[in-house]
Amino acid sequence: MAATGEETDGRPSWLVRKIRGLLLDISGVLYNGSEGGGEVIPGSVEAVEKLKAAGYKVQFCTNEDQCTREQLVHKLARFGFKLLPTELHAPSPVARKLLQERNLRPLLLMHPGGLAEFEGMDFLNPNCVVIGGAEDQFTYERMNKAFRLLLNSDNPVLLATGCGRYYRSGSNLLLDGGPYTKALEFACDVKAEIVGKPAATFFLAALEGIHVSPEDAVMIGDDIVSDVGGAQACGIRGVQVRTGKFRPEDENHPTVKPDGYVDNLAQAVDLILKYN
């Protein structure tokens, strides 16, 4: 039987129980985004290939809402990643499905690059708000429009692609949609429904797609709250990489304690291949 302590054989505690599948965050784990497109995180391309070659089931779990899945696949291909749109689990398609099921007409506070995922929907007389990482679209007047729609609605519906606080773009940290979601929640006394990470439904749907149960899976991400905390809340092990938006302060986070830390995805995969 394998030893359990890191002290004895170097096995990290998050690999004590065998894993069968992985959920991988994209931005901050595979590559770092920036205005010019970004750069690959060294070792990540090989790491993904090694995982797949070893037979692991992998699903890429992203809150990316500033481009379509196809565009994201192309973007990742430029860095050397060979992914299929079906391996991506992103919030906009999930939101679209929810809107159609409930017959809702959305006011989209989204980045122009991601609007194509909503193409063909009815936007006239909107009766709900969908909010994402809208960047420059977060003007005072557009926020006001969303605010008034929610305030005047008998049954206000606010869908948020994620609840991320910020992300890295080049050398800058930029506000994500989460703070703006909180602003609208506070202003109108509503509670947003999160579609993407850290919603349990989002992680569980991604795992269903690869037929892996939560206790057999690990989520690797750079966001302490959304990736790690979200996964842990539904019984998935959460490991934080020290790349992307990671900050040293994260290691003393008041509420979220990851199952493990790794310097980057490459190190995580090496550990998995060695100890799992």
Partner 1 sequence: MAAKIRGVLVDLSGTIHVENTVIRGSIQALQSLRETGVSVRFVTNTTKESKETLLRRLTGIGFDIKAEEVFTSLTAARRLVDQRNLRPMLLLQPDAIEDFKGVDVDNPNAVVVGLAPDCFNYELLNKAFRLLLEGCPLIAIHKVRYYKRGDGLALGPGPFVTALEFASDVRAEVVGKPQPSFFKQALYEMGCDAQSAVMIGDDARDDVGGAEAIGIKGFLVQTGKYRDGDEHRLANPPFAVCKDFSAAVDQILTML
Least distance (Å) from partner 1 to the CB of residue 148? 7
Tell me which of 20, 50, 52, 182 binds partner 1, using CB under 8 A: 182
User: Quick count: other Cβ atoms within 10 Å of Cβ 267?
Assistant: 16
All residues at 6 or more sequence positions from 53 whose CB lies less than 8 Å from its CB, including other chains: none
Task: Determine, following the binding rule CB under 5 A, whether residue 243 of this chain makes contact with Mg ion.
Answer: no
Residue 226 touches which member of partner 1, Mg ion, none, C-beta under 5-8 Å by kind? none
Tell me which of 186, 211, 248, 252 binds partner 1, using CB under 8 A: 186
Region from 71-79, 92-100, 138-146, 226-234 binding partner 1, contact rule CB under 8 A: 138-146
Least distance (Å) from partner 1 to the CB of residue 134? 8
Kindly determine how many residues on this chain lie close enough to bind Mg ion according to the rule CB under 5 A.
Answer: 4
Residues 23-42 that bind Mg ion (CB under 5 A): 25, 27-28
User: Quick count: other Cβ atoms within 10 Å of Cβ 98?
Assistant: 19
Region from 79-87, 141-149, 154-162, 229-237 binding partner 1, contact rule CB under 8 A: 141-149
Task: Determine, following the binding rule CB under 8 A, whether residue 147 of this chain makes contact with partner 1.
Answer: yes
All residues at 6 or more sequence positions from 77 whose CB lies less than 8 Å from its CB, including other chains: 83
Residue with tokens 């989520």: 219
Q: With left for phi above 0 and alpha for psi between -120 and 50, is residue 157 left, alpha or beta?
A: beta
Task: For partner 1, give the closer residue by CB, 137 or 276.
Answer: 137
C-alpha distance across the termini of the chain, in Å: 12
Residues 187-246 that bind partner 1 (CB under 8 A): 187
Task: Determine, following the binding rule CB under 8 A, whether residue 14 of this chain makes contact with partner 1.
Answer: no
Beta strands in the chain (DSSP E): 21-24, 31-32, 39-40, 57-61, 88-89, 106-109, 128-131, 158-160, 166-169, 172-175, 193-194, 217-221, 237-241, 260-262
Residue 186 φ then ψ, to 5°: -65, -45
DSSP 195: -
Tell me which of 74, 174, 213, 274 binds partner 1, using CB under 8 A: 174
Residue 138 touches which member of partner 1, Mg ion, none, C-beta under 5-8 Å by kind? partner 1
All residues at 6 or more sequence positions from 106 whose CB lies less than 8 Å from its CB, including other chains: 99, 118, 121, 123, 126, 128, 129, 130, 159
Least distance (Å) from partner 1 to the CB of residue 94? 23
Residue 35 touches which member of Mg ion, partner 1, none, C-beta under 5-8 Å by kind? none
Query: Which parts of this chain interact with Mg ion (CB under 5 A)?
Result: 25, 27-28, 222
Query: Which parts of this chain interact with partner 1 (CB under 8 A)?
Result: 135-140, 143-144, 147-148, 151, 165-166, 172-176, 178-180, 182-187
